[in-house]
Structure 1
Amino acid sequence: MVLTAVRGALGFLSRLPVGHSERAWEAFVGTPAAFPLAGYVVGGLVAVPFLAAGLLPAPVVAAAYLGSVVLVTGVNHADGLADLGDAAVVHGDPAERRDVMRDTTVGVGAVLALGTVLVALALAALAVAGLPPLVAVALVLAAEVGAKLSMATLACVGRPSHEGFGSTVIDGNGSRHLVGSLAVAVPAAVVAAPATAVTVLAGPLLALGLSGWADRRLGGVGGDAFGATNELTRAVALHAGVAVWSLFGTPLGGWEVFAWTLS
């Protein structure tokens, strides 16, 4: 059942050729933990360029990472971020803001949201590329798990604004289901704690803030909010992880020495 749910999650969250089936989709939407579990697969793939950290110039590694994110995950979540950006700058009630999100015209809010997050992600990738390879891989993996954990958090605590993907995922799930999602994210959080712990926890914290904002501005959470929180978390989590690593490093002394030796 869990493997089927993860396959359904990867079919929706990535461009990996895992196939699509009604059974996998139903298992996915009923299993919030499938979000962070899929994050391990996606994170492992997009982290591959950082194995060359220290061997190739940091801008080259960062650019390869950005390219891998697009190749593995596509643009579906970025589209959600763009729609949310347009809604954020509209003056009106929740219904009017949701109408703007359905409009195919790209506004200044979308451009600003996408541009800001892309620049933030590129700068974070540059910083990560300057770390020891294994540390860099651990942070990128943790950021992707945290990004998917943010989506799981919305699925467990969000209130749907209208019929669609958001309501499909939220219906039937509750706050008690978040425990399983947090549990499966623990390995990514502890591998190079405290940096990776902060990186993973950025996901649910950002999701809670976005859920509260969406309730006030949009009347609840929709599919675009899921995509937006994924993109926002990835960038924010990487910056948070790099900052904590720079300040505190990791208490796993032997692992740290090994990582620095490889660099």
Structure 2
Amino acid sequence: MVLTAVRGALGFLSRLPVGHSERAWDAFVGTPAAFPMAGYVVGGLVALPFLAAGLLPAPVVAAAYLGAVVLVAGVNHADGLADLGDAAVVHGDPAERRDVMRDTTVGVGAVLALGTVLLALAFGALAAAGLPPLVAVALVLAAEVGAKLAMATLACVGRPSHEGFGSTVINGNSPRHLVGSLAVALPAAVVAVPSTAVAVLTGPLLALGLSGWADRRLGGVSGDTFGAANELTRAVALHISVATWSLFGGAWPVPLVDWEVLAWTLS
């Protein structure tokens, strides 16, 4: 059941050739923990370019990371961010904002939202590429798990605005289901605390704020809100984790491995 849910999650959250089936989809929407589980797979793949940190120029590594994100994760979630950006700049009631989100025309709000998040992600990747390779991989992985944990949080605490993907995932789930998602995300959080911990925790915190905003402005959470939460969390979590590492460093919760020495040895 769990593996089926993860396959369903990867089929929706990535472009990986895992196939699509109704059974996998049903298992996925009924298992919020499948979001962060899929985050490990996606995060591990998009973090691979950072193994070359120190060997290749940082801009090359950062560009390879951005390319990997597009190749592995696709652009579906970016489309949600664009729609939410257009809705955010509209003056009107929730119904009018939802109408704007359904419009296929790209407005200034979408351009601003996509441009800002893309630039933030690029600069975050550039900063991560200046860290020891294994540290950078750990932070990027944690940011991706945090992004998927943000979506799991919306699935557990959100209120759907209308029938669609949002209502399909939210209905049947409750805040108590978030415990399983947090437990799944724990390994990514403790790899190099506190840096990886803040990356993972960015997900649920941002999701709670976004859910409140969506309730007020959109009448609830939609599929676009899920996509926007993923894109926003990835960029914000990467910046926060890099900044935390720069300020405080990181260590295993049990002093078994010196990450900096190990990364220097392997590089």
TM range (shorter): over 0.9
Task: Tell me, in whole angstroms, the C-alpha distance in 1 between the residues paired with 2:180 and 2:247.
Answer: 31
Q: Secondary structure at the match of 1:209?
A: helix
Give the aligned partner of residue 222 of structure 2.
222
Q: Report what 2:148 is aligned to.
A: 148
Pairwise CA distance, 1:259: 1.9
Deviations 1:68-117 (A, max 9, x none): 00000111000000000000000000000000000000000000000000
Quick check: 1:116 aligned with 2:134? no
Looking at structure 1, the residues matched to 258 and 100 of structure 2 have their Cα atoms a distance apart, in angstroms, of: 53
Q: Write the distance in 1 (CA, Å) between the matches of 2:201 and 2:127.
A: 20
Aligned to 1:6: 6
Q: CA–CA distance in 2 between the matches of 1:259 and 1:193?
A: 16
Letter in 2 for 1:260: W
The residue identity in structure 2 corresponding to 1:254 is D
- Contact kept, 8 Å, 2:135 with 2:259, in 1: the verdict is no
Picking from 250, 256, 259, the partner of 1:255 is 259
Please give the alpha-carbon distance, in whole angstroms, between the structure 1 residues aligned to 2:17 and 2:265.
Answer: 37
Identical aligned pairs, as a percentage? 89
Report the alpha carbon displacement of residue 249 of structure 1 after superposing the two structures with TM: 0.3
Query: Matched residue pairs, number?
Result: 263
Q: Report 1:26-45 matches (<5 A).
A: 26-45=26-45
Q: Tell me how far 1:214 sits from its aligned partner.
A: 0.2
Residue by residue, what CA displacement relative to the aligned partner does 1:181-229 show, whole Å, maximum 9, x if unpaired?
0000000000011100000000000000000000000000000000000
2:65 is matched with 65
Dislocated runs of 4+, deviation >6 Å: none
Structure 2 CA distance for aligned equivalents of residues 115 and 262 of structure 1? 36
Match of 1:87 in 2: 87
Contact 2:134–2:259, Cα closer than 8 Å, also in 1? no
Q: Which SS does the other structure have where 2:258 is aligned?
A: helix
TM-score calculated relative to the size of structure 2: 0.97
- Give, in whole Å, the separation in 1 of the partners of 2:199 and 2:83: 25
Q: Distance in 2 between matches of 1:35 and 1:199?
A: 16
Partner residue, 2:159 = 159
Alignment map for 1:119-198 (pairs within 5 Å): 119-198=119-198
Q: Is the 8 A contact 1:81 1:224 kept in 2?
A: yes
> Structure 2 counterpart of 1:24, which letter?
A
Q: Is the CA contact 1:156–1:178 (under 8 Å) kept in the aligned structure 2?
A: yes
CA contact (8 A) 1:132 1:262 kept: no
Unaligned runs of 5+ in 2: none
1:3-30 deviation per Cα after TM superposition (whole angstroms, max 9, x unaligned): 0000000000000000000000000000
- How far did 1:251 drift? 2.9
Give the AA of the match of 1:256: E
What do you get for the CA RMSD once the two structures are aligned? 0.8
> C-alpha displacement at 1:239, in angstroms?
0.2
Deviation at 1:260, TM superposition (A): 3.4
Q: Give the letter aligned to residue 51 of structure 2.
A: L
CA contact (8 A) 1:155 1:170 kept: yes
Q: Does the residue aligned with 1:147 lie in a helix, a strand or coil?
A: helix
Deviation at 1:261, TM superposition (A): 3.5
